[in-house]
Structure 1
Amino acid sequence: MPPQEIATNQKEDIGKIREWLTKQPHLPQNIDDVLILRFLHTCNYSLEQTKQLIDLFYTIRSQAPEIFGNRDPSDAASQEIFKIIDLVPLPKPTKDNHKLFIYRLADPDPDKYNFVDSLRTFFMIADTRMVLETEFHSGEIPIFDMEGFSLRHLTKITLPVLKKYMLYTQEAHPIRLKQIHILNIPPFLDRCLALLKPFMKSEVASMLHFHLPNSETLFDYVSRDVLPAEYGGNVGKLSEMKDEWVKKVLAKKEYFADESRWRVDESKRPAQNQNGKQLFGMQGSFRSLSID
């Protein structure tokens, strides 16, 4: 299909979603075009699936204020997370056009680690990406480096918040997840998996790839030329990329502060659409819910 025709179809689809949003008064009405387009792209431009994803995206966020509420990238908690954790989207996609994201500890001191603050900061970076990046990728590959991660870090994880995080990332985060790589796996990996397993879908579990310390097995999946210097690649230093992303997130401070962009108003939800009720008590896939 010619690029001009693709652009025309995308504008028409955005218009259809905006028309639908006017009939969903509980949802934010000031959603950026680029974000609507990301929802459409994630759902392979299925309008019905896109509607389901949008409703879940905002509903889950509204029911997880620990992660998605009171977001200020300039506050002390966020600034501390920026210091002790590297949360960095990499600039160059893989040969299959998959976007890479690296998550690792910059400071292994568990006394400085706050699980909830790290999730809140992670999603501020993710949300910044969603509106700044206008070229969408065929998939996403997060890389979690567990070097320096200890059992004391593990004890900081709170199960109710972990459950909300897992539900959101598996059901409502607008990306096409392809692989998940865990580097430098620790001796207590079984304990980590025991925490995650009750909340992890089998489809996501099948995407997990584990890599021993000092191994080069990651390169069987991801070529060196798309990795930072710290991982034997040549796309630049992770520290410099991190500094650039921190600046981008800080520039979006007012964007995050505008609660009208992020929350649902359950008092205005149409009677025929009751998907917001008891969301965290339900099991299975939510994208098949009624959303008319």
Structure 2
Amino acid sequence: MQPWEDASKMMLCGCKDFPTCKVDGYTLRLETDDPPSDVKDIARKELRETPELVEQAMKELRELLKEEEGLYCPLENDAWLVRFLRPTKFYPKSALELVKNYYSFKVKHKDIYNGLVPSSEQNVFAHDVISVFPKRDQLGRRILCLYLGKKWKHNKVCLDEIYKGAVLFMEAAMIEPETQICGASVIFDMDGLSLAQTMQFTPPFAKRIVDWLQDSVPLRVKAIHIINQPYIFNMVFALFKPFLREKLRNRIIFHGTDRKSLHKHLDPSCLPKEYGGTMDVPLVHSNNWYTIMSQLEPEYEKINSYGYKKKVQE
């Protein structure tokens, strides 16, 4: 085990006890364990991750960040450095650009990010329009699901709230070593999407989402699955298309109601029955995750304390 895989050192706030939540006998938690051997194999093959390269890359990235004027970040936290090195395959200069993009994006959209903590976003969790499935997919990826059709009461939960909920989930996922290595899959369930809901989407919102996914998230978003989409969804996707680069565009897969198509990419064992799955644990609702994330409030506050032109803490 690397020193930065010690759970107490993986949190910026130094928290030693990670919260859990019982869901019908299943224990929900952030998975901060040492990655299993097959996941370590993925890290070696896909990310070039070896102990020697990790040590050298952390050293180089730390020195590069010291030269970045006006940026305050946890340079001495090895686990934090690795969060940016893994998605950039341990190339320090690429990791530096990702760090800069990550914090610059927060400055650009400060109306969204300032003071963003779970307790300020209880509404989106209460309406259960975004959640993470309890089981990873067959490739070790976390599965984030957004319900933007009939489950979404757009007059009670706005798109910015859903976006902020997704950011909070992604920040939590960034802590997990297995997610850092294997990445995440995203499902957009558009079942029941209405014309009134499509009118909530705007080009600026679409650009923000795409810029975030393409350049500013230190997480490997490996696939985006669009399911149950009605014809009217074409109006929504048309807003996003101009901003998509080839790499992300090729990772967007449209399935409609074809469950066999979905199962070619996501094994039924990691999906609930409503998606033709055979998942043997209860489906986790947003309020279950909120129970965990609200207890991690000090971690989110610590995350918010870093960035460009932030005051250096003693």
TM-score normalised per structure 1: 0.79
Which residue of structure 2 aligns with residue 25 of structure 1?
69
Q: Alpha carbons of 1:254 and 1:162: their partners in 2 closer, same or farther (altered >3 Å)?
A: farther
Cα displacement (A) at 1:91: 4.1
Q: Does 1:129 align with 2:167?
A: no
- Please tell me whether residue 113 in structure 1 is matched to residue 135 in structure 2: no
Distance 1:88 1:233, change over 3 A: farther
Partner residue of 2:92?
47
Distance 2:181 2:135 in 1: 11
2:225 maps to 1:181: yes
Equivalent residue for 1:149? 193
Match of 1:104 among 147, 150, 155: 147
Q: Give runs of ≥4 in structure 1 deviating > 4 Å.
A: none
Name 1:279's counterpart in structure 2.
none
Q: 1:82 aligns with which of 125, 143, 151?
A: 125
2:62 partner letter:
R
Name the CA shift for 1:260/1:188 in 2 (closer, same or farther; >3 Å): closer
Aligned in 2, Cα 1:237/1:68: closer, same or farther, shift over 3 Å? Answer: same
**Equivalent residues of 1:143, 1:182 under 8 A apart:** yes
Tell which deviates more after alignment, 162-171 or 10-19.
10-19
**Alpha-carbon offset, residue 230 of structure 1:** 4.0
- Report the equivalent of 2:135: 92
Give the Cα–Cα distance (whole angstroms) in 1 for the partners of residues 174 and 104 of structure 2.
18
- Provide the C-alpha distance between the structure 2 equivalents of 1:137 and 1:97, rounded to a whole number of angstroms: 9
Name 2:282's counterpart in structure 1. 237
How many residue pairs match? The answer is 263
Which amino acid is 1:33 matched to?
Answer: D
Quote the Cα distance in structure 1 between the aligned partners of 2:305 and 2:208: 20
1:201 pairs, out of 245, 264, 269, with 245
> Would the alpha carbon gap of residues 108 and 54 (structure 1) be closer, same or farther in structure 2, given more than 3 Å must change?
closer
Quick check: 1:99–1:137 contact (8 Å CA) kept in 2? Answer: no
Give CA-to-partner distance per residue, 1:231-253, whole Å, 9 cap, x none: 3231422235x444212221222
Letter in 1 for 2:228: N
1:56/1:248 CA distance change after superposition, 3 Å: same
The alpha-carbon distance between structure 1 residues 104 and 264, as it changes in their structure 2 partners (threshold 3 A), is same
**Contact 2:129 / 2:152 at 8 angstroms: preserved in 1?**
no
1: CA distance, partners of 2:255 / 2:206:
23
* Aligned-partner Cα distance in 1 for 2:114–2:162: 13
Tell me the equivalent position of 2:211: 167
* Structure 2: gaps of 5 or more residues: 1-39, 44-48
- Say which SS state the counterpart of residue 42 (structure 1) adopts: coil
Q: Which residue of 1 aligns with 2:307?
A: 263
**Could you say what the CA RMSD is over the residues aligned between the two structures, in angstroms?**
2.9
Which residue number corresponds to residue 34 of structure 1? Answer: 79
Distance 1:185 1:27, change over 3 A: same
Contact 2:87 2:181 in 1 (8 A): no
Q: Please, which runs of 5 or more residues in structure 1 have no aligned partner?
A: 267-292
1:6 & 1:192 partners in 2: Cα distance? 43
Q: Which amino acid aligns with 1:114?
A: C
Residue in 1 that maps onto 2:46: none
Task: Determine the C-alpha separation between the residues in 1 that align with 2:92 and 2:118.
Answer: 33
Change (3 A) 1:49 1:74: same
Q: CA deviation at 1:229?
A: 4.3
- In 2, Cα distance between equivalents of 1:172 and 1:192: 22
Change (3 A) 1:14 1:87: farther
Pair 1:15 & 2:59 matched? yes
Report the TM-score, using the length of structure 2 for normalisation. 0.74
